[in-house]
């Protein structure tokens, strides 16, 4: 009766284990010799037989417990790393921010020439524009800042002011003798309960900071419509699939 057919994963696992054991064995032998230790001396420190250590150095350590390898590393003063590589299915640390940037670039692609993390001042990473959008036909530059959450609202506002100032210099350079490009600022904020509460709590601050038409900004970013001449704030949904306007409370 035939045995069970081995899976591809099992075969590759064995092959890689053998290769790793050979490499580790070579490193083990070289490290021991550099420290002028005999096999017997190192084996005694770790608590294994000299023959076992010889097998490990010869590349026959595929089935050796991880604890023995870590003990040998400790005895030799070497750092041993045993870990999975990054999971390709795991989210990046800034995945939420990237999702908003991806959304803005996708929606604006028909009209705007988009960019990603434009370094306004390379020596200062905080001066990097999340999504710079340029429309050469209409001679305009939109500075789009994407927000999952806020740690320092005042700091965020000041950072945007600096980016607009630097963007204005860039707009002047792009315009050349025909005059500077128009520059606009828009914040795209993820529509979370916490962000909604923050905007409501500081209603007058946000109104003063973003007097531009939110509807106008959504239209400009998604359909290439006229860019409002004042900074604006728009929402993106939780899954970062669409943009929609921020509706200000009715004046009593």
What are the tens digits of pLDDT across the range 113-162? 998 878 766 555 556 888 999 999 999 999 999 998 888 889 999 989 99
CATH code at position 65: 1.10.260.40
- Give the number of domains in the chain: 2
Mark whether 134 and 66 lie in a shared domain. no
| pLDDT of the residue at 1 | 47
E strand or H helix at 223: helix 214-223
Residue 107 lies in a domain: yes
Cβ neighbours, 10 Å, residue 40: 12
Mark whether 119 and 149 lie in a shared domain. yes
Mark whether 103 and 222 lie in a shared domain. yes
Residue 156 lies in a domain: yes
- Domain interval for residue 214: 95-245
Mark whether 225 and 105 lie in a shared domain. yes
Tens digit of each residue's pLDDT (9 = 90 or more) over 18-59: 999 999 999 999 999 999 999 999 999 999 999 999 999 999
Tens digit of each residue's pLDDT (9 = 90 or more) over 87-111: 655 554 556 788 999 999 999 998 9
Look up the pTM and report it.
Answer: 0.64
E strand or H helix at 185: strand 182-190
Residue 84 lies in a domain: no
| pLDDT of the residue at 83 | 74
Mark whether 23 and 107 lie in a shared domain. no
Mark whether 121 and 203 lie in a shared domain. yes
Tens digit of each residue's pLDDT (9 = 90 or more) over 181-193: 999 999 999 999 9
Cα–Cα separations (whole angstroms), residue 3 to 6, 7, 102, 169: 9, 12, 51, 73
Mark whether 21 and 144 lie in a shared domain. no
Mark whether 128 and 241 lie in a shared domain. yes
Residue 179 lies in a domain: yes
Mark whether 67 and 117 lie in a shared domain. no
Tokens of 196: 């909604």
Among 24, 46, 76, residue at a domain's last position: 76
| pLDDT of the residue at 134 | 94
Mark whether 70 and 135 lie in a shared domain. no
Mark whether 117 and 197 lie in a shared domain. yes
Residue 231 lies in a domain: yes
């Amino acid at each position: 009766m035939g045995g069970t057919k081995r899976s591809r994963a099992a075969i590759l696992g064995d092959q890689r284990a053998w290769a790793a054991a050979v490499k580790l064995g070579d490193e083990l032998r070289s490290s021991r010799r550099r420290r002028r230790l005999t096999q017997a001396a190192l084996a005694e420190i770790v608590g294994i037989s000299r023959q076992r250590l010889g097998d490990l150095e010869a590349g026959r350590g595929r089935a050796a417990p991880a604890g023995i390898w870590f003990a040998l590393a400790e005895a030799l003063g070497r750092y041993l790393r045993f870990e999975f590589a990054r999971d390709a299915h795991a989210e990046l640390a800034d995945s939420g921010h990237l999702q908003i940037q991806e959304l803005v670039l996708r929606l604006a692609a028909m009209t705007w020439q988009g960019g990603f993390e434009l370094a306004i001042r390379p020596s200062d990473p905080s001066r990097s524009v999340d999504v710079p959008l340029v429309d050469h036909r209409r001679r305009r530059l939109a500075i789009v800042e994407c927000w999952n959450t806020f740690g320092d609202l005042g700091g965020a506002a000041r950072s945007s002011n600096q980016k607009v100032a630097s963007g204005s210099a860039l707009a002047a350079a792009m315009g050349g003798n025909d005059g500077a490009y128009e520059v606009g600022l828009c914040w795209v904020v993820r529509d979370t309960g916490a962000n909604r509460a923050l905007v409501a709590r500081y209603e007058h601050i946000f109104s003063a900071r973003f007097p531009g038409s939110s509807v106008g900004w959504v239209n400009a970013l998604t359909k290439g419509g006229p860019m409002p001449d004042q900074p604006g704030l728009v929402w993106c949904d939780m899954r970062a699939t669409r943009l929609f306007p921020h509706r200000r409370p009715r004046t009593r």
